[in-house]
Amino acid sequence: MTTRDTIITVELDDPAGTFTLREICERGECHAEFVIKLVSYGVISPVNDTPDTGDWAFDLQALARLRKAQRLQRDLKINLPGLAMSLDLLDEVRDMRREVDRLNRLLAHFIAD
Amino acid sequence: MDFKDYYAVLGVSESASPEEIKKAYRKLARKYHPDVSKEEDADAKFKDVGEAYEVLKDPEKRAEYDQLRKYGARGDGSFEPPPGWQSASGFGGGGYTEADASQFSDFFEEIFGGGRRAGGFSGAGFGGFRQDTRSRGEDVHARLALFLEEAYHGCEKQVQFTVHEVDDHGRIVARPKTLKVKIPAGMRDGQHIRLKGQGAPGIGGGDNGDLFIEVELAPHPMFTVEGRDLLLTVPIAPWEAALGASVTVPVVGGKVNLKVPKGSNSGRKLRLKGKGLPGKHPGDQIVVLQVVMPEQHSEEAEKLYQQLAEAEQHFNPRSKLHV
């Protein structure tokens, strides 16, 4: 077992932190058509909404979402419309879980008092 | 090495039909998919389910597995294949497993081994492992949990993850890697950061992959985080609500004085500008007032309340209930 300890400094809001269509395809190991379809279904969005796909720039969130979409498609055999709906519902579930958590803690304040 | 009961993993009987096995797999895959499930060990369960399905869906592998299952585990649950055991079916990949075969258990590797050689995969997950061409290393994705205080002030954290690389024998091996990462102040829940070149090593002189870290903020006992804003419920006394007051409230890493306006109700929100998570556009701290009563009143206080009731007898707090 090899272990390396290195100090890495993270830089945020790095302008180089976006990907072109070609780069996001390389990272996601998928065809451009797949990414274009995900954009058309609203699953991911370029940060600059231009009609020319050659000018598209995707941020890290888009890449993470693309990977998630791929995993769901690969593991659960979901088609594109189903994928778009699943991801929307998963987002909604996540937001609602957070809201329930927040309200529960707020409620705990009132009950404790 | 422990024996793995793939039938138990999928919750099916030994005589289950291929259709029943597929159905059980699909149901459990949905239940334990790491992108869907919130269970702590969902990742491990999902891998187990995938491994079980990989074996049971294939008639050849299933027959071999059934044979070994009869041979059985030892009394202590450990398992060794019979001397000279060699799988006829081997590992050919297929379905979901193309991407995650290297993460199958030692038990699987021992029985159906030989599937972890570089070049054996053409699936989506390991496109980087081809020895004969120059290619970029695999990107690695990890999660990092931070306390609110750590996200607010910035911190140094140790991140542990696994990279897949090709060893001298051309086999894909998983290597644990540890990095100390300096996290800047102001990280938000769900934010992704990229560490260039910290993923799996490139092949044939190709670039290293990147490490992507998704930040998760642990729930805080007092503050709730909404984007860059921090929400805090602050209890105030009825007279503070009625007359207005200057009260001390906590902020992350300190405290400030807050002016409660006269006539404030429970639920009123007051904004402390710039006291949320720091950044180019720092968030705010939003204070939610909560009027609380003392557990007991003195006789004098009760008399004062009596006077108050007489002075405010036209006030109907239940007017919206039409009573």
Mean pLDDT, residues B153-172: 86
Was domain B140-217 assigned CATH 2.60.260.20?
yes
B156 contact A CB<8A: yes
Architecture in CATH for domain B6-112: Orthogonal Bundle (1.10)
Name the CATH superfamily housing domain B223-321.
Urease metallochaperone UreE, N-terminal domain (2.60.260.20)
Contact B152, B223 (CB under 8 A): no
Q: Which residue has the higher pLDDT, B249 or A52?
A: B249
Angle in degrees, 0-180, between the axes of helices A60-76 and A80-112, rounded to the nearest 10: 110
Was domain A16-112 assigned CATH 3.10.129.10?
no
Domains B6-112 and B223-321 share a fold: no
Per-domain residue ranges of chain B = 6-112, 140-217, 223-321
Q: pLDDT grade, residue B125 (50/70/90)? A: very low
Sign of the torsion formed by the C-alpha atoms of B158, B101, B45 and B210: positive
Q: pLDDT grade, residue A7 (50/70/90)? A: low
| B33, B219, B290: residue with CB nearest A75 | B33
Chain B hits for A111, CB-CB cut-off 8 Å, are none
Per-domain residue ranges of chain A = 16-112
What pLDDT was estimated at residue B219?
86
Angstrom CA distances, A52 to A21, A27, A48, B296, stand at: 11, 20, 10, 70
User: Residue holding tokens 């995969």?
Assistant: B121
Q: Which residue has the higher pLDDT, B119 or B312?
A: B312
Q: pLDDT grade, residue B169 (50/70/90)? A: confident
| B96, B193, B198: residue with CB nearest A74 | B96
pTM score, whole prediction: 0.68
Question: Tens of pLDDT along A68-105?
Answer: 999 999 989 899 999 999 999 998 998 898 888 878 87
Q: Which residue has the higher pLDDT, A97 or B109?
A: A97
Among A67-81, B121-135, B185-199, B242-256, which is the least confidently predicted range? B121-135
Residue of B nearest to A25 (CA): B124
DSSP assignment of B166-178 equals E-TTSBEEEEEEE
Question: Tens of pLDDT along A8-35?
Answer: 666 554 544 789 999 999 888 899 999 9
Among A7-11, A15-19, B62-66, B192-196, which is the least confidently predicted range? A7-11
Residue of A nearest to B38 (CA): A94
Interchain CB distance below 8 Å, B29 and A76? yes
